[in-house]
Chains A and B, each alone.
Chain A
Amino acid sequence: MELVVSAGIGVLVAAGLYLMLRPTSFSVVLGLTLLSYAVNALIFFAGRLNAESPPLAIGGANGIADPLPQALVLTAIVIGFGMTAYLVALALRTKGESKTDHVDGREEA
């Protein structure tokens, strides 16, 4: 299971990085989104992979899942979401002002 999860995170990061290095701001936004998915998963799994253990201290439960990464990842998701929304707005404005989706605001000469 650990191998699947880490490989999944690795693939997400690789795909995110590839897209981030593309010259159009649309791909960059997608790349950053994939990267933030990967990062959120990483933080979440930093609390270890354990099944059937609630994040609360209940008698009789099979151990306790670490509740802190869940709180951290929630914060990270909210911040990442807000930032991506702002980035999309900014990319649209750049496109509106420079008439191209190229990240430099002009096509290659």
Chain B
Amino acid sequence: MNHWPIIPILIPLAAAILLLVSHSWPMLWSRIVSFGAVLLLAAAVIFCLGLADSGEVLVYRLGNWPPPYGIVLVLDRLSALMLALTSALAIPVLLYAMAGTDAEGRHFHALFQFQIVGLNGAFLTGDIFNLFVFFEILLLASYTLLVHGGGVERVRAGLAYVVLNLAGSALFLIALGLIYGTLGTLNLADMALVLVQVPPADQALVRTAASLLLVVFALKAALLPVSLWLPQVYGAASAPIAALFAIMTKVGLYAILRVSTIAFDAAPFAANLLGLWLTALALLTMALGTMGLLAAQRLSIITANLILVSTGTLLVAFTAGNANATAAALYYLPHTTLVTGGLFLLAGRIASQRGALQDLAERGPQPRDILLTGGSYLVLAVAVAGAPPLSGFLGKLMLMQSLSNAGLAPVFWAFLLVTGFISALVLARTASVYFWEPERQAPAVSAGVVIQAGSMRTTALLLLTAASPLLMLAAAPLSQYARATAEQLHGRAPYISAVIGDPAAIQRERRP
């Protein structure tokens, strides 16, 4: 059996345990271990990406129990893509945090690694109960990372976030209980096989469970009625944490995509369950995010609203249910995650240079290093607004083309273009306040330590700023990969046969 699928979980887990054990050692040790683990993980993930790109679906059976009885990890193209994205975001975020954020509270690095364990596990698992467990790991790490550094604002936002997610977890468990009660399995591939044989009497219960599951994932992805928590929480978190959280909403979207394409779409009665509702809510999420953009007064809140907009955009494409739209969305997803992550880091940088004003869009001292700060602002803003020549433009173009035949095309095009225009407007307005209307007072002279810390933060910011131009340059191979991923996902059969093998060999019992 190929052991690669479990490596992306084991590396951060081992690092986290090591960091917990040696937490009283000097900070330098923690930083070396943590950063080393992330680099090692990136190398392993690149190898996994190569494995997955062969088109084979790699299945890892824990304890070598034959599916559907044991727990499986599945590495396919989609998992590998999400793993790569996690690593690509984690490296600059950790680099930024190592410049001082990690010393504001205890156990930062261990929690950071646990967060990555949860993320990678959620992307790799082939079993929805395990998905729940990895969700809880990443949530518990995120609860503590959110309040890292303390402060009444963060603790208050943290309380709301924890309560909301605990309620979400309860709903998740209710859905799992109902699914197990009706289908008798929690393995995604096996669910697809069992779903087609569900007797009509149980179908309503299965549909209820599936809808509950979608509600939970929508909560993680921040879809409209359950999205109102996001700006407050992301605005309260410190810059590198908020940047890491940029991928958290994508976990919800990933789960929606994975569970519906592999399992629920297999049976007509459960397929496309909340179809039109989800599409409508996704469009409304885009609208609400855009209104939030207009109302926001801080760059970090603007970025949080940009995340809402991207959630809506991606979900419209995912609910379209065809491989073209999914492929376009899978090109757009890494772009939006890395660019919003970069914007959070930039907001942190600007906030650290403007004293008490923080990143509030009001006249104040001009940020230092105007070329660097202003330059990365320009690149990130152009990318996120979807203007040429960066990856946002290409991603949006691909999305629009892929949905051009859908009935909703005119509405979606209008929403996408108007939100892009308003994002550009808001970011331009904010930039003009930051960079062009400074008060005539020189910013405070910085100490040597700040400059040293600044160089790590600068590197981190530059790495994420470079993401969009790089995604643009690598657009051809990336979109090919995204297309192959979408086809593999919507093909469904290779995934199921890789996990289950011979369905006839499973002995099923009809339960009362």
Would you call A72 and B176 a contact (CB within 8 A)? yes
A75 to B155, CA, bound (A): 28
A11 in the interface (beta carbon within 8 A): no
- Distance in angstroms from A76 CB to nearest chain B CB is 6
Instruction: Report the minimum CB–CB distance from B153 to chain A (whole Å).
Output: 9
A103–B163 touching, CB < 8 Å: yes
The residue on A at minimum CB distance from B184 is A66
List CB contacts (< 8 Å) of A12-58 with chain B: 20, 25, 28, 32, 35-36, 38-40, 42-43, 45-48, 50
Give a binary string over B171-203; 1 marks a CB under 8 Å from any A CB, 0 the rest.
Answer: 001101110110000000000000000000000
Are A20 and B156 also in contact (CB < 8 A) when A36-B170, A39-B170, A72-B129 are? no
Chain A residues within an 8 Å CB radius of B158: 90
B166 close to A (CB within 8 Å): yes
Say if the beta carbon of A107 comes within 8 Å of chain B: no
Q: Give the CA-CA distance A66 to B133 in the complex, in Å.
A: 21
Which residues of the other chain, A, contact B163 by a CB distance below 8 angstroms? 20, 28, 32, 87, 103
A46-B180, A72-B180, A86-B162 known; A39 and B143 CB under 8 Å? no
CB distance from A88 to the nearest CB of B (A): 10
**Which residue of A has the minimal Cβ distance to B155?**
A94
Determine if B176 and A43 form an interchain contact, defined as CB atoms under 8 angstroms apart. Answer: yes
Does B477 interact with chain A (Cβ within 8 Å)? no
A82 at the interface (CB under 8 A from B): yes
0/1 string, B131-166, CB within 8 A of A gives 1? 001001000100110010000100110111011001
In the bound complex, how far is the Cα of B144 from the Cα of A79, in angstroms? 15
B167 CB within 8 Å of chain A? yes
Most buried by A among B129, B140, B156: B156
Q: Is the CB of A42 within 8 A of B177?
A: yes
Flag if A82 contacts B140 (CB, 8 Å).
yes
Given the complex, which residues of A lie within 8 Å of B173, measured CB to CB?
36, 39-40, 42-43, 76
**A residues bordering B, Cβ < 8 Å?**
20, 25, 28, 32, 35-36, 38-40, 42-43, 45-48, 50, 66, 68-69, 72, 75-76, 79-80, 82-84, 86-87, 90-91, 93-94, 97-98, 103-105
Q: Report the 3 A-B pairs with minimum CB-CB distance, sorted nearest first.
A: A46-B181, A43-B177, A105-B156
12 examples of A-B residue contacts, CB within 8 angstroms: A20-B167, A32-B170, A36-B166, A43-B176, A46-B177, A83-B136, A86-B162, A94-B156, A97-B152, A97-B155, A98-B155, A103-B163
